[in-house]
Structure 1
Amino acid sequence: MSGARPAPLRDGDFPVLVPITTRWADNDAFSHINNVAYYSFFDTAVNMWLVENGILDIASSPLVGLVVETGCRYRRPLAYPMTVRIGLRVARLGTSSVRYDVAAFDTAEEAAAEGNFTHVYVDRASGRPASIPEDWREKFRRIAVPATPS
């Protein structure tokens, strides 16, 4: 095992970039954005995209996405005040789940942080996993990572 770190993702790798303004409270005692804030940025960006694309109606959607997994690799610190651009793309589209690739960018093309975020869609009333409707699937496919040949 070489231990080599993969090259950073670039903003051009993402079909969606959601701007998020950092807040004073995002910084920690070390004068950079605390790790927990990145998860909030990722969650906000995913849900903004879902709302804007008619997939999520916060109050009444019959299906809701529950977060079942997240992860983040930090490459360099960011700090308040700034606008962070959150890159978003679909890495995997399952029957009832969506795995997103996410990344945080400042003014540089290379990501300051990279992560993943997985939703499992469930029926709001029963809480049981449910198939993602075809019209939603089409919207997810529009921002999906191209499949790699086998």
Structure 2
Amino acid sequence: MSYLYWESVPTRWNDNDCYGHMNNVIHYEMMDTVVNTWLIREAGFDPRHGDTIGMCVASRCEYKAEAHFPEVIKVGLRIGKLGTSSVRYEIGLHRSDGETLIAHGDFTHVFVDRETRRPVPIAGQMRAAMEKLVVSS
């Protein structure tokens, strides 16, 4: 799978569970962190003060290999579908070599008005940044 944006995320001591590997909820935390880091840095998103917010309406993850502390996970991001007010991010978690897949998943944001919680179009700088990450299936 080709990802167009990458972040390196170190595991933490408390990411391991009683089975000795990274707990499944940590995979989701890493995906969410990379998506929101990208939104803030590259797309000009302001989650605290902007007029719109992104609401997660769906998420999924498939686990392919174990990860452990201490390890640095390379997280790849791309966009599989960009709609009027929604976006489906596709995320791959890899070993530090960038090749060995640990897990892959996706989640969908619907952007809504902060006050009314009604969907609003993705526009301007955010749409332009998202268009750069769109890949065709």
Q: Please report the TM-score for the alignment, with normalisation by the length of structure 2.
A: 0.94
Shift of 1:111: 1.3
Shift of 1:134: 3.5
More strand by percentage: 2
**Alignment gaps of 5+ in structure 2:** none
Aligned residues: 136
Identity %: 36
For residues 58 and 95 of structure 1, what CA distance do their matches in structure 2 show?
Answer: 19
For residues 103 and 124 of structure 1, what CA distance do their matches in structure 2 show?
Answer: 29
1:124 equivalent in structure 2: 114
1:81 pairs with 2:81: no
**CA offsets, 1:59-85, max 9 Å, x none?**
211111111111001001000111111
2:85 equivalent in structure 1: 96
For residues 123 and 96 of structure 2, what CA distance do their matches in structure 1 show?
Answer: 36
**CA offsets, 1:97-143, max 9 Å, x none?**
00010010112403110000110000011111111114321110111
For residues 94 and 73 of structure 2, what CA distance do their matches in structure 1 show?
Answer: 6
Shift of 1:58: 2.4
Q: Out of 21, 32, 35, which is 1:43 matched to? A: 32
CA RMSD of aligned residues (A): 1.2
The structure 1 segments of at least 4 consecutive aligned residues displaced by more than 6 Å after TM superposition are none
- Counterparts of 1:1-150 in structure 2, within 5 Å, are 9=1, 13-108=2-97, 109-145=99-135, 147=136
For residues 138 and 26 of structure 1, what CA distance do their matches in structure 2 show?
Answer: 35
Which residue identity does 1:65 align to in structure 2?
G
Larger Rg: 1
**Alignment gaps of 5+ in structure 1:** 1-8
For residues 30 and 98 of structure 1, what CA distance do their matches in structure 2 show?
Answer: 35
